[in-house]
Chain A
């Protein structure tokens, strides 16, 4: 296989991963906001969220494998697993490794969510708010195409989309109509069990 094909694949898969991951983050936030309409049931949001997340991992795998195999960067498999161990763009590539490993933890725990319990799963799922920005920084710092107009447009679109979703989430307050009552009840149960 020609080296340039590997190099193009790495860059393309990186860009696709950014787009998919941003969509996954937005869908995840929309699901907590209980967005729905006549033609868009809530299970569609969560189903898309999950399936696009799995697809993100496929493109992320492609991105990582092609960049390691590519002789130009001369990375080696260790630098794809150990953060900041590559001689090539050490810092920016290390951010990519960190983001990748956080995403692996998030997906793996989601696949066994039923055994893990909701609280532990949710705590780990919050790591998304670290994995996504670290991944974006990785793209900005090491991306070959970062300053080309189309890649700037993609990155800006992804950041804007996720930014708007987070802003909506922060301003929406409780989405559970009986949240205060349930919190009071749960506190009472905890008190009784503590005795």
Chain B
């Protein structure tokens, strides 16, 4: 079991500003209303810096990186 990280979106806080999908298109796309759809599973190691940036840039602090139980 490695230390894997997954992205979680707080659906109540999120108001579809869309920065996360711009910064991390590999894992996040937007639905028809501009809200994020996350790719399932852990964030690959090489995308962690971008995921971290997406978390920090969210204008409403609605997305977070969490330690998960995912097996890599």
Residues of A that sit less than 8 Å from B by CB: 31-32, 34, 41-43, 46-47, 113-114, 117-118, 176-179, 182, 185-186, 189
- Kindly provide the distance from the CB of A148 to the nearest chain B CB, expressed in whole angstroms: 39
The one of B12, B23, B33, B35 that contacts A43, using a Cβ cutoff of 8 Å: B23
CB neighbours (8 Å) of B61 from chain A are 113-114, 117-118
B57 at the interface (CB under 8 A from A): yes
B19 touches A43 (CB 8 A): yes
Q: Is the CB of A114 within 8 A of B17?
A: no
Chain A's interface: helix, strand, loop or mixed, by majority? helix
B:1-54 near A, CB below 8 Å: 12-13, 15-19, 22-23, 33-35
Chain A residues with Cβ below 8 Å from B18 are: 34, 42
Q: How far is the CA of A117 from the CA of B59 in the complex (A)?
A: 11
Q: Is the CB of B57 within 8 A of A46?
A: yes
A186-B56 Cα distance, complex, nearest whole Å: 24
- 16 further A-B contacts with Cβ under 8 Å, apart from A47-B57, A113-B61, A179-B15, are A31-B59, A42-B18, A42-B19, A43-B19, A43-B57, A46-B59, A114-B61, A117-B61, A118-B60, A118-B61, A178-B16, A178-B33, A178-B35, A182-B12, A185-B12, A189-B12
> By the criterion CB–CB under 8 Å, are B19 and A176 in contact?
no
- Using C-beta atoms within 8 Å of the partner chain, give the interface range for chain B: 10 to 19
Q: Which residues of B contact A177 (CB under 8 A)?
A: 16, 33-34
Leading 5 A-B pairs by shortest Cβ distance: A176-B15, A118-B61, A41-B22, A177-B33, A43-B19
Residues on the B chain within 8 Å of A47, using CB: 57
Q: Which residue of A lies closest to B61 (CB)?
A: A118
Contact B60 A34 (CB under 8 A): no
Residue of A nearest to B22 (CB): A41
Q: List 13 A-B contacts (CB under 8 A).
A: A34-B17, A41-B22, A42-B17, A42-B18, A42-B19, A43-B23, A117-B61, A118-B61, A177-B34, A178-B33, A178-B35, A182-B12, A185-B12
Shortest B32–chain A CB gap in Å is 9
Docked pose: A189 CA to B19 CA in angstroms: 26
Which A residues lie within 8 Å of B34 (CB)? 177
